[in-house]
Amino acid sequence: MKARSGRPAVLMDVAVLAGVSTMTVSRVLNAPDLVRAETRARVLAAVRELDYRPNQAARQLVTGRSGVLGVVSIDTTLYGPASTLYCIEQAARHAGYNVSIASLSSLNRRSMEEGLQRLRTQSVDGVIIVAPHESATDGLRHLPPEMPVVAVDAGDDIPVPVAKVDQRTGAARATRHLLDLGHETVLHVAGPADWLDANDRIEGWRGVLEAAGRPVPEILRGDWSSRSGYQLGGRFAADPGVTAVFVANDQMALGVLRALREAGRRVPEDVSVAGFDDIPEAAYFWPPLTTVRQNFGEVGRLAFHLLLDRMAGAEPDARRLVEPELVVRESTGPKPV
């Protein structure tokens, strides 16, 4: 809808329709957390009804900001990083920010510097770096000091705030669930060695086994794909001593399930299998997969608000961890007698 005159809606039109001042409309668009939820909802409803589009040039003149945030991320279709990127973008757009994404083929110091330079030429107000690789650590230690930056899925020893899912806790819950079902130990099919999440999940898995005084099997490393899960599953599928497997992501778990089926092992009657991620298809595997659900929406929201704090000159808490949830389905059961 346009203003009554037929022209594109302006700030005053939104204020009149919402029954607030133009200052309040400006606050909702530029600093929404400073406005009461009821008022904010009324203003946003008016924005939608009038199809109001903020004038970015005017906003930059008034606030000194472009209203654009940058995101640096590895170019991947993997469920975790892709979901994280989507949720960051949604959180930013919901608050009235545009998002510019620099997709990199690899994450290292040089590529990150190039990605940040591309974003700086667009006058972004701040940057979120999705950094799930070990190789990103060096780049995160050499960021331009004048640029507000927040990292997602990064390591522990970096000088910027981080938002991430607590991978160790998620892996520990899956492993403990399998031990509680009576299994003597739990085999682990891990992700690639250069992925921080994969290594954190190993730590969570190993910590539970060691604390319980159980044998710690040799780790099998895959590449996150169903094919690698299937190939690794073939190594142990016929071993009657393997009764429980924790797989580092659901795609590899799918491959493990096939390998077990081809070997004549029933799930969960002979072998229990748990995954990680809770991809949309996990509930439709056969059998439906027990897995660990990651709240990517909360990670995106936290990263966005950490960046707003940095842009305002604050020094936010160094780390924000989001607790994962164990989702128990039909792929796990008691140890066979």
Q: What does the pLDDT look like over 2-29, one tens digit per residue?
A: 455 566 778 788 889 999 988 888 778 7
**Chain segment 142-178, per-residue pLDDT in tens:** 888 788 999 998 887 788 899 999 999 999 999 999 9
Is residue 56 pLDDT above 60, yes or no?
Answer: no
pLDDT value of residue 40: 84
Q: What backbone phi and psi angles, to 5 degrees, belong to 265?
A: -95, 130
pLDDT value of residue 5: 54
What is the model's pTM? 0.79
Is residue 217 pLDDT above 70, yes or no?
Answer: yes
What one-character DSSP code corresponds to residue 61?
Answer: H
> What gap in Å lies between CA 178 and CA 290, rounded to an integer?
10
> What gap in Å lies between CA 126 and CA 119, rounded to an integer?
9
**Chain segment 314-327, per-residue pLDDT in tens:** 776 678 899 999 99
CB atoms closer than 10 angstroms to residue 2 = 12
DSSP 64-130: S--SEEEEEEE----HHHHHHHHHHHHHHHHTT-EEEEEEESS-SHHHHHHHHHHHHTTT-SEEEEE
Is residue 61 pLDDT above 60, yes or no?
Answer: no
Q: Beta strands 325-327 and 291-293: pairing type?
A: antiparallel
Mean per-residue pLDDT, 42-47: 85
* Contact indicator for 99, 68 with CB cutoff of 8 Å: yes
* Contact indicator for 214, 185 with CB cutoff of 8 Å: yes
Domain boundaries, the chain: 11-54, 64-165+296-323, 167-294
Element (H, E) at 241: none
Do the two domains 11-54 and 64-165+296-323 of this chain adopt the same fold? no
pLDDT value of residue 64: 54
Average predicted confidence (pLDDT) for the chain: 88
pLDDT band (50, 70, 90) for residue 134: confident
Residue 88 to residues 92, 129, 186, 196, Cα–Cα distance (Å): 6, 10, 34, 19
What one-character DSSP code corresponds to residue 224?
Answer: S
Is the domain defined by 167-294 classed in CATH 3.40.50.2300? Answer: yes
The tokens describing 159, both together, are 């000088």
What's the CATH number for 11-54?
A: 1.10.260.40
The tokens describing 288, both together, are 């439906």
Question: Collapsing DSSP states into helix, strand and coil, what is residue 216?
Answer: coil
**Chain segment 96-126, per-residue pLDDT in tens:** 788 888 888 777 888 888 888 888 888 898 9
* Contact indicator for 221, 235 with CB cutoff of 8 Å: no
The tokens describing 134, both together, are 């070990």
Least confident residue range of 72-81, 191-200, 272-281: 72-81
Contacts of 58 (CB under 8 A, 6+ apart): none
Which of these, 316, 320, 260, lies nearest to 286 by C-alpha position? 260
Is residue 266 pLDDT above 90, yes or no?
Answer: yes
DSSP 119-161: HHTTT-SEEEEE--BTTHHHHHTS--TTS-EEEES--SS-SS-
Amino acid at 225: S
Q: Beta strands 244-247 and 187-190: pairing type?
A: parallel
Which of these, 157, 85, 118, 104, lies nearest to 319 by C-alpha position? 157
> What gap in Å lies between CA 235 and CA 88, rounded to an integer?
39
Q: Domain 64-165+296-323's class?
A: alpha beta
pLDDT above 70 as % of the chain: 92
* Contact indicator for 98, 68 with CB cutoff of 8 Å: yes
pLDDT value of residue 105: 78
